[in-house]
Amino acid sequence: AASRAAADARGRSERPQSAAASRITGISLQEAQQILNVSNLNAEEIQKNYNHLFKVNDKSVGGSFYLQSKVVRAKERLDEELRIQAQSDKEKGWKAET
């Protein structure tokens, strides 16, 4: 119950689309940024850190499948946030023209 309450509170503090993305991926934006060690949403930095962390956590080199999975989920969450931001920017541009 406490976990659900915390998730609900976290969802209320985010934008509606962002909160929905957190629920779908099961990971918050903040947690995804911490996992991939990025402070801002920069696609190149996200990809670079993802590639490194995915490679070092590969099971064939003694890594952890669980950690590798967390890295994948974090990238998915950040990619979704980048998509939401791009869509929002596009809509703002469209509204400014009308």
Closest CA relative to residue 38, chosen from 66, 30, 9: 30
Q: Which pLDDT score is estimated for 93?
A: 78
Local confidence band at 88 (pLDDT 50, 70, 90 cut-offs): confident
Q: Is the pLDDT of residue 77 over 70?
A: yes
CA–CA separation, 67 vs 13, rounded Å?
Answer: 27
At 24-71, the pLDDT tens digits run: 668 899 999 999 999 999 999 999 999 999 999 999 999 999 999 999
Closest CA relative to residue 25, chosen from 45, 7, 9: 7
Assign 3-class secondary structure to 54-72. Answer: HHHCCHHHCCCHHHHHHHH
Q: Which pLDDT score is estimated for 59?
A: 93
Nearest 5°: phi and psi at 27?
-145, 140
List of domains in the chain: 1-97 (1.10.287.110)
> Over the chain, what is the mean pLDDT?
84
State pTM to two decimals. 0.73
